[in-house]
Structure 1
């Protein structure tokens, strides 16, 4: 699917009522473009739509079980987020980030998550901590089963919850915009067993720092965690490029 979805001609007209989706990505009706956008983000994150893949509206409508109207609105949203590009003679494609873009994005995310972690240590309640621990244990269960998709959902939720606990709206909006661009890269970086195990251990240390209300340690751990993730992503990209070279 990642390479087989081709761009349609610009004069394609609205298809007949959407048929049931295939491929496990169908979304429930009634469908809003936000729901379709979420489904497309998941496909990009998990590699069903790979970086550089051309997007075919007809095929995507069949996969998702929707008509072209919400799909086109969703594609506009993803384009604004930087997840897809419109290229001359190619049409819409999944965005490809350069190594420079990746480094700069992860470096800035490290600063944002570090600050969020420090604020969360000061602002979180006992209830907040218990909820984070419950998410952490669920993530560990997915890790023990080798369930990467489930693991990543809990992992993403934990980082998102820490960001919310910081209670800074400007930080929140900046974080969401940046993180969407690299979610697929973060997901793929866990395919290396050793790096995945290290990431799990770092999450355990974060929970300990939050429980201890140790803001400086939490800030250091979050920055280190994002730097480790950046290095893992760059190694993955180099591995992908070697066969082509």
Structure 2
């Protein structure tokens, strides 16, 4: 159930990664109960012991990057039965923490979108043409990234997940363009990693950034000739020649 491919597929966001661990836990737990559903009569199938250890190890690795979860790691015993019981309690705690956090995230997301739609919060407007072109660019990027032989699989999957999140958040009224501008760093990394092969991808990211920037510049009443954020021109990138022209 848990292997290297599954671990590599986990999202970079630690809460989303934990959420996926929590999703597979009930099935894993159920398959490990020999008989009895509650303490102290529950007996665990120790053939699933390694699966328990793996899910625990993955979760503790992730939670070390989340300051909001405060829980000590398990002090293991010599008994597999006792350790599986401890891991079960640990996962119960993690599941509750993830449920609370996902609810908080959802509430904040709805508030943000509602505020933008009702214009009670700062926001920027995209035209129907902007949205259509941005969606087309994202689809083109997906195709280019999926077809590229030059990208490492882990990096490819990370980019595809980012594009999926970005596409789901494109609306006529936007509170910010953080996800779009986050692609600038990815474009710079691509240029470093695969050189000329990155050009078609970088060009489309540049166009996507331009769409976002025009909307933001208009919303902030900036001069129409204010240049957008540039790709590959940050300090230390060594790729200034690939930046966007003003």
When the two structures are superposed, what TM-score results if normalisation uses the length of structure 1? 0.25
Structure with higher RCO (Cα < 8 A, 6+ apart): 1
Between Structure 1 and Structure 2, whose CA radius of gyration is higher? 2
When the two structures are superposed, what TM-score results if normalisation uses the length of structure 2? 0.25
